[in-house]
Amino acid sequence: MERNGIRRERPSSGLRPPSPRTRGEGLQTSAVASPARRGMTLAAALLFTVSAHAQLGDLWNKHKDKITKGAKVAQSATRELTEAEEADIGRVVAARILQTYPLAKNDRLQQYVTLVGNTVAAYSARPTLEWHFAVLETDVVNAFSCPGGFIFITTGALEQIESEAELAGVLGHEIAHATQKHILKEVKRANTISAAQDLAATTASGSFLTDELGEKISNLAYEKLFTTGLSRRDEEEADRIGVELAAAAGYRAAEFVRFLGALEALEGEAQMRVLTATHPGAADRKKYVQPLIGDKSGEVLAERWSAWTQPASE
């Protein structure tokens, strides 16, 4: 069953807090919603994290051919992108973001964000997309969604979060940008202007220009993410679907409003500059998100958040 991009099936057993300090265990079976992901052990999750690191580390060089092919298709915009092509575009944009901020060198944090992200994404309209979640090391408060399921959150944003439910809401917002293909829509829209000219040039000059198109698409996505932002309508949609996803995954959606309050208190600070330029104001977002939240049911998991994000005091 699916409505508004949210899958309604709930895992029968709900979320069960793991025992994060015990090595070799972790977020097991019932903590991960998708049946496909059940049985994911800490070891498997760690492998996922390591492979995500590897893939994110040198994206452009590794996938150059595939990326330029995907870029060409996106540019011509004559048909829907395949999931693989969409991911290829996502890799270009992700590589660009990683040139701006490095990955946080904290495997435990990367792993935790990946586990929570996958839990929420399992309830999205695109549960089988190969989702990648990663933490960027910067005081800047922000999170980014690239096409194809590459999601980033900064350590500066994590600093403002007080529970797993809040993290689920923030990641839900970014997951929604990806499932609703907000960035891709902008890429297509911008390219329609010069599509004919670019296609002709590509045919004439071969692969050099397809590289240029990859560059062009990443520039456009980067500009949307860092300077101009998406439309207010897309941001509202991401907020709405984000809280619905968090709730569907078993989290208390109201916690996302607390996070928006934290953003509101920080407004005007240097570390908020990009987020403020690219998103509606936090007070505004609180106003339209609040009515979407029903009761206060669902898990907050503040202790699990602390256990995974704060250094063990042993």
Interacting residues toward Zn ion by CB under 5 A: 235, 238
> Contact 131/151 with Cβ under 8 angstroms?
yes
Nearer CB in complex with Zn ion: 112/144? 144
Nearer CB in complex with Zn ion: 237/255? 237
How near is the Cβ of 22 to Zn ion at its closest, in Å?
A: 36
Cβ neighbours of residue 212 under 8 Å, at least 6 residues apart? none
How near is the Cβ of 272 to Zn ion at its closest, in Å?
A: 14
Nearer CB in complex with Zn ion: 165/263? 263
Residues in the chain: 314
Query: What Å distances lie between residue 262 and 41, 103, 132, 133, 160, CA to CA?
Result: 33, 24, 26, 23, 6
Burial of 8 per CB tally in 10 Å (0-12, 13-18, 19+): exposed
Nearer CB in complex with Zn ion: 56/175? 175
CA-CA distance, 111 to 116, in Å (whole number)? 9
Cβ neighbours of residue 134 under 8 Å, at least 6 residues apart? 52, 53, 56, 103, 110, 113, 114, 150, 151, 152, 153
Nearer CB in complex with Zn ion: 9/223? 223
How near is the Cβ of 173 to Zn ion at its closest, in Å?
A: 6
How near is the Cβ of 184 to Zn ion at its closest, in Å?
A: 14
How near is the Cβ of 238 to Zn ion at its closest, in Å?
A: 5
SS3 content of the chain, % helix, strand, coil (to 5): 60, 5, 30
